[in-house]
């Protein structure tokens, strides 16, 4: 008798009991400060080299303009990264300092100074042309890279005091994760580095969950502070030992530790999401009961 073929990868396959393992590239993001923004570091360098024979005044103006343009490029790069972090979160505050808009203004000032450097050597220098060049550069920079986020996102009904507590815990957690990344490089094992990155993605899932609902902070604080600090210390110790001895047992023990941490962090994240769903269900039922008492028919 014919039997229909099927397996766990078939379209109608049953859902697995356990979640599938995360890929190394799961959650990977392109650096928002790409080549387009990094190229803006070049004009300042070129301006200085092209002004070496322009005398003391010309070179001084070029150095000031180059410094302003370089600062603008750096602010733009940081602003793009801040906006990417803002866009990646469901709940986020606007940047405290508008880096991209400041970069646009500084770019206009730098271009104005660079244009004036060419005007000052003329018999009758004018400020109109440099000023127009600066305005054009400011407008084009703003159009190309946009503006910084000017308002908070998803902050309605969020306790700002609790959100500040979450921000402090998240900053500490991110510091531990960065320390793990810096330490594991010394081990010289690309597979271990990839395994650490996978755990970091799981930890950041929990961080995002806490950021979106600060009520989860009490339950997650132990994970984000104590457990991550322990993971950081273990990573530093492992990197020091493994870089000298290449001990396979130490490697296996460290991988087992990462597996345990990954599973526990993922379980904590799932529990937080289930708690949020339970809270929503309770609120829906309360609303339905109230509507029934007021004589409103609920389907």
- Domain ranges (residues) in the chain: 35-145, 160-293
pLDDT of 137 > 90? The answer is yes
In degrees, rounded to 5, the angle at the alpha carbon of residue 190 between the alpha carbons of residues 189 and 192 is 70
Q: How confident is the model at residue 283 (pLDDT cuts 50, 70, 90)?
A: low
Average pLDDT for 6-26: 54
DSSP 259: H
Average pLDDT for 221-248: 89
Q: Rounded to whole angstroms, how far apart are CA atoms 38 and 31?
A: 11
pLDDT of 259 > 80? The answer is yes
Contact call for residues 256 and 205 (beta carbons, < 8 A)? no
Q: Provide the 3-class DSSP secondary structure of residue 153.
A: strand
Average pLDDT for 25-41: 73
Per the model's pLDDT, the better-predicted residue between 72 and 296 turns out to be: 72
Closest listed residue to residue 170, CA positions, set 124, 207, 201: 207
- Could you report the per-residue pLDDT of 75-126, keeping only the tens digit for each? 999 999 888 888 877 767 788 899 999 999 999 999 999 998 877 666 667 8
**Whole-model pTM over 0.75:** no
Q: What is the pLDDT of residue 19?
A: 52
Q: Rounded to whole angstroms, how far apart are CA atoms 226 and 229?
A: 5
pLDDT of 136 > 90? The answer is yes
Q: Rounded to whole angstroms, how far apart are CA atoms 22 and 266?
A: 11
Q: What is the pLDDT of residue 5?
A: 56
Q: How confident is the model at residue 31 (pLDDT cuts 50, 70, 90)?
A: low
Q: Provide the 3-class DSSP secondary structure of residue 246.
A: coil
pLDDT of 277 > 80? The answer is no
The secondary structure of 67-96 as a DSSP string is HHHHHHHHHHHHHHHHHHHHHH-SSBPPPS
Q: What is the pLDDT of residue 140?
A: 94
CB atoms under 10 Å from CB of 120, counted, come to 13
Mean pLDDT, the chain, rounded, equals 81
pLDDT of 233 > 80? The answer is yes
Rg (CA), the chain: 27
């Amino acid at each position: 008798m014919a039997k229909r073929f099927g397996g766990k990868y078939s379209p109608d396959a049953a859902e697995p009991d356990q979640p599938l393992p995360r890929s190394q590239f799961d959650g990977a993001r392109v650096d928002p400060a790409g080549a387009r923004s990094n190229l803006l570091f070049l004009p300042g360098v070129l301006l200085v080299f092209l002004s070496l024979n322009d005398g003391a005044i010309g070179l001084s103006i070029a150095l000031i303009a180059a410094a302003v343009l370089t600062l603008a490029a750096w602010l733009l790069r940081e602003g793009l990264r801040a906006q990417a972090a803002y866009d990646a979160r469901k709940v986020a505050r606007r940047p405290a300092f508008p880096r991209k808009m400041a970069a646009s203004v500084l770019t206009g000032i730098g271009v104005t100074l660079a244009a004036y450097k060419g005007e000052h050597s003329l018999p009758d220098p004018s400020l109109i042309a440099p000023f127009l060049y600066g305005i054009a550069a400011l407008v084009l920079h703003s159009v190309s890279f946009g503006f910084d986020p000017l308002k908070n996102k998803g902050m309605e009904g969020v306790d700002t005091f609790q959100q500040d507590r979450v921000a402090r815990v998240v900053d500490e957690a991110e510091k531990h994760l960065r320390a793990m990344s810096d330490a594991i490089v010394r081990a010289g094992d690309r597979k271990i580095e990839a395994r650490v990155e996978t755990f970091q993605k799981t930890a950041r899932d929990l961080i995002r969950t806490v950021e979106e609902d600060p009520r989860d902070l009490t339950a997650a604080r132990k994970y984000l502070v104590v457990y991550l600090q322990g993971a950081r210390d273990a990573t530093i110790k492992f990197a020091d030992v493994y870089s000298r001895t290449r001990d396979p047992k130490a490697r296996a023990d460290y991988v087992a530790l990462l597996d345990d941490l990954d599973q526990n962090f993922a379980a904590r994240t799932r529990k937080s999401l289930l708690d949020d769903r339970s809270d929503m269900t309770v609120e829906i039922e309360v609303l339905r009961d109230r509507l029934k008492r007021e004589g409103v028919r609920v389907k």
